[in-house]
Amino acid sequence: MNLVTLRDVSVAYDGYEALRHVDLEIADLDFLGVIGPNGGGKTTLVKAILGTVPHTGELTLAPELFRGKERLIGYMPQISDFDRAFPISVLEVVLSGLQGRRGFSSRYTKEDRARAMELLAASGIADTARSPIGEVSGGQMQRALLARAVISDPKLLILDEPANFVDNKFEKELYRTLHELNARMAIVMVSHDIGTITSVVKEIVCVNRQVHRHRSNILTEEQLRNYDCPIQLVSHGHIPHTVLEHHPGDCCRNHE
């Protein structure tokens, strides 16, 4: 069952077309790794799915993605996009993942708080619950942002560069957690580094203004060349490793 369907979706910023004619389906229990060069449009693709950027074309969210008015999409932003100066505690950050259900002004229930504490405890940062979010470490903040993204028990979890600026310990922990979560929700994870995510995700989606889905989590150099992907490969066995930061051409043409 498709949870999200994009048909001929394009996104432009002040006339600059960041995404062009995108067709993509995200099915239940998919685990997609979204890769591509800097500025290729990965975050824009995420924003298009979340409906936070104007687009042309058709974006369809399946009824299964809603519980009443609540949209069952969890989102973990890039840590650099999160405002550290926001004057709330770690616990409140996690609880804010329920705002889709309760609205800004409603109060959280005892059960909500217990659930948030449970998630913080599971990620080993229960002792930071009362700390201002601006005062915790990057790794602790990312654990809190992940807890915030999953507290509503979403059907689709979207993570934008979740392993940026963190220690290896969080990264390993994160991938183990995502593997478990994928048993009950679809996951879309943006990453610069195909080498790291390739063993974690089920399929790769390459974004450079255009979008191509590879029906595998392992890409060969030849496949990438065929799609004009702007990726330099440093082989680890059969696993491609490095994503170039810049390429003048379009990646992953669909060869229509």
Provide the minimum distance between the beta carbon of 159 and ligand ATP in the complex, in angstroms, as a whole number. Answer: 13
Does the footprint of ligand ATP cover residue 140 (CB under 6 A)?
no
Rounded CA-CA distance 212/204 in Å is 8
Report in angstroms the alpha-carbon separations of 41 from 38, 50, 66, 180, 208: 8, 14, 26, 28, 6
Cα atoms in the Cβ-side hemisphere of radius 13 Å centred on 62: 14
User: Distance between the two ends of the chain, CA-based, in angstroms?
Assistant: 26
Rounded CA-CA distance 81/78 in Å is 5
Does the footprint of ligand ATP cover residue 74 (CB under 6 A)?
no
Provide the minimum distance between the beta carbon of 160 and ligand ATP in the complex, in angstroms, as a whole number. Answer: 8
Of the two residues 143 and 247, which places its CB atom closer to ligand ATP in the complex?
247
Q: What is the DSSP letter of 243?
A: -
Q: Which 174-213 positions form the footprint of ligand ATP (CB under 6 A)?
A: none
Q: Which of 44, 128, 140, 217 binds ligand ATP (CB under 6 A)?
A: 44
Applying CB under 6 A, the span of 41-49, 110-118, 129-137, 147-155 interacting with ligand ATP comes to 41-49
Cα atoms in the Cβ-side hemisphere of radius 13 Å centred on 60: 13
Contact in structure between 206 and 247 (CB atoms under 8 Å): no
Rounded CA-CA distance 191/35 in Å is 5
Of the two residues 54 and 134, which places its CB atom closer to ligand ATP in the complex?
54
Provide the minimum distance between the beta carbon of 235 and ligand ATP in the complex, in angstroms, as a whole number. Answer: 23
Provide the minimum distance between the beta carbon of 183 and ligand ATP in the complex, in angstroms, as a whole number. Answer: 28
Provide the minimum distance between the beta carbon of 33 and ligand ATP in the complex, in angstroms, as a whole number. Answer: 13
Q: Which of 31, 32, 35, 43 binds ligand ATP (CB under 6 A)?
A: 43
| Binding mask of the shown chain, residues 1 to 40, with x at each position contacting ligand ATP by CB under 6 A | ------------xx-x-x-----------------x-xxx
Contact in structure between 165 and 138 (CB atoms under 8 Å): yes
Contact in structure between 18 and 209 (CB atoms under 8 Å): yes
Contact residues for ligand ATP, defined by CB under 6 A: 13-14, 16, 18, 36, 38-44
